Amino acid sequence: MLFVELLVPRGVFDEQERRNLAGRLTARRLLSAANGETMAADPGVIDLFDSLSHVVVREEEVWNGGGRLLDPSQGPWYVVNVIVGMWGKEMSEHLISRITAELAEAEGNPEPRAVVHVISLHEGGYGLHGRAQRSADVLQLIERAKTGPAASVADDMIVDPVCGATVPLQDAVILERGGKTYGFCCTHCRGHFVKQLSDAAAS
């Protein structure tokens, strides 16, 4: 459920290099842990996100940065626009870090010249199968996709019961209910879980 648009100056990368960059910016890699390979979420949810995500790499013929035309011989510059649905605020820090790390590794430069924009959509601003999807609709898709954690979870981590994300306990959105502690990756998942509990209690 990501749309990643990578803009690069024309002539800096050949076609194979652009394909390699696109491969580094897939949902599967970006939603993984810091190394780009260890899943930080439920494998089924990662599969869902990967199946609904797109990466495009565009070469820009004219590039003006900082008030001057950029020379391709000066090496790569990157602008990355990532549309993340309704969870931009919750995902921005992770995505900016992961995208920058992927570009750094690809370039062999620990500080690539990259600007990353994480763009949220308003509620209902994401369409799938011909209809607008609200966060509750997307969370239902996520719940159906869950298969269980890929590996055992360390004591300082917690698995979000809604989306299956593995979250550091210190960063989790916490809910205490019935003597049990639940941890969530974001307020959207917490709210969805509370609504499910309320609906279950009412029926």
pLDDT band at 34 (very low <50, low <70, confident <90, very high): low
Structure tokens belonging to residue 5: 């648009």
Element (H, E) at 183: strand 180-184
Q: Which of 44, 58, 53, 46 is nearest to 26 (CA)?
A: 53
Find the range with the poorest average confidence among 3-12, 31-40, 70-79.
31-40
Q: What is the bridge-based pairing of β-strands 126-128 and 64-65?
A: unpaired
What is the model's pLDDT at position 72? Answer: 78
CB burial readout 88-99, b (16+ within 10 A) else e = bebbbebbbebb
What is the model's pLDDT at position 88? Answer: 84
CA distance 191 to 161: 12
Task: Find how far residue 66's CA is from the centre of its chain.
Answer: 28
Structure tokens belonging to residue 180: 């049990």
Question: Between 18 and 76, where is the model more confident?
Answer: 18
Residue 164: pLDDT over 80? yes
- The pTM assigned to this predicted structure is 0.85
Element (H, E) at 102: helix 88-107
pLDDT tens by residue, 37-68: 555 778 898 899 999 999 999 999 998 888 88
| Separation of first and last alpha carbons in the chain | 32
pLDDT tens by residue, 91-144: 898 899 999 999 999 999 999 999 999 999 998 899 998 999 998 898 889 889
What is the model's pLDDT at position 188? Answer: 81
What is the model's pLDDT at position 22? Answer: 98
CA distance 104 to 96: 12
